[in-house]
Amino acid sequence: MFKGSFVALVTPFTDGKINDDQFQSFVDWQVNEGTHGLVPCGTTGESPTMSHAEHKHVTELCIEAASGRVPVLAGAGSNSTSEAVDLAQHAQSTGADALLVVSPYYNKPTQAGLFAHYEAINAVAEIPIIVYNIPGRSVVNIELDTMKRIAGLSNVVGVKDATADLALPGLVRREIGPDFCQLSGEDASAIPFLVAGGHGCISVSANIAPALCAQQHNAWNAGDVAEAQAIQDKLVYLHRSMFCESSPGPVKYAAQLLGFCTDEMRLPMVEISDSSKAQVEAAMRELNLID
């Protein structure tokens, strides 16, 4: 079971190119801060603007830097099933612990098409698959009946749920079972998600406050609900600031303030506004992350 605080890693760029050293140093810091797992090449990592070669390179860098200390859930999604299959095969061949596969975006497949997509990836997979349901970005929602069918595939072990529907974890738990891993994709509702039957969170804020995010889940898993909620209360403004503009704009700026990389992104993502920068800075100062 994957559980706890998994970080949806940013990808540092320098003059348009991936900065290998900065990325691996950042991964090492994450592990040392207590992060429970690493997720390279997701939306936060700007995978939509990376070439396939770059995507594979970042996955390799992450696995190398993690060095087996924590699980690596490699992003292997695409709106082309054949491309997702290729990324999945590469990730597992290079030592990823699991695959994070986002539902196809833009194509707007039917529920039958969604199942066929995951079925094709499952056919080549030899490691666990986490389904990523994010209708806000992919337009289509994986309905509960379809999720139940997908969960029946041999390598599918869980879901990253970014629906913001807090009734859903309980329904999934009832229909699919308590061993089906449920990871939230929404930082702000991490605790309610756990209460509803979830097991952890794939977090944007963990890029900036990995120790606090990990401590929150450690407290929850130890049965200290009050401490977990107290940490959530501390993090609430950071969570909000990380989405004051489209991600990863705010988190990239925050990572720059911490000195891990610049806020450089690839178009069509652009530098966040001054007012958004002020919001990010205020949230980080509240947590004593910056002076």
Q: What is the pLDDT along the chain (291 residues), one digit of tens a residue?
A: 899 999 999 999 999 999 999 999 999 999 999 999 999 999 999 999 999 999 999 999 999 999 999 999 999 999 999 999 999 999 999 999 999 999 999 999 999 999 999 999 999 999 999 999 999 999 999 999 999 999 999 999 999 999 999 999 999 999 999 999 999 999 999 999 999 999 999 999 999 999 999 999 999 999 999 999 999 999 999 999 999 999 999 999 999 999 999 999 999 999 999 999 999 999 999 999 999
User: In this predicted structure, what is the pLDDT of residue 1?
Assistant: 80
Domain count, the chain: 1
Please give the residue range of the domain that contains residue 219: 4-224
Exposed/middle/buried for residue 54 (C-beta within 10 Å: 0-12, 13-18, 19+): middle
pTM over 0.85: yes
User: In this predicted structure, what is the pLDDT of residue 22?
Assistant: 98
Quick check: is 234 in a domain?
no
Quick check: is 149 in a domain?
yes
Quick check: is 274 in a domain?
no
Quick check: is 104 in a domain?
yes
Alpha carbon distances (Å) from 110 to 91, 138, 149, 212, 242: 27, 12, 14, 40, 32
Quick check: is 237 in a domain?
no
Quick check: is 107 in a domain?
yes
Residues forming the active site: 132, 160
Quick check: is 199 in a domain?
yes
User: In this predicted structure, what is the pLDDT of residue 76?
Assistant: 97
DSSP string, 157-197: EEEEE-S--TTHHHHHHHHH-TTSEEEES-GGGHHHHHHTT
d(CA 47, CA 49): 5
Report the CATH number at residue 30: 3.20.20.70
Tracing tokens 């396939």 back to the chain, one arrives at 52
Beta bridge partners of 74: 99
Quick check: is 214 in a domain?
yes
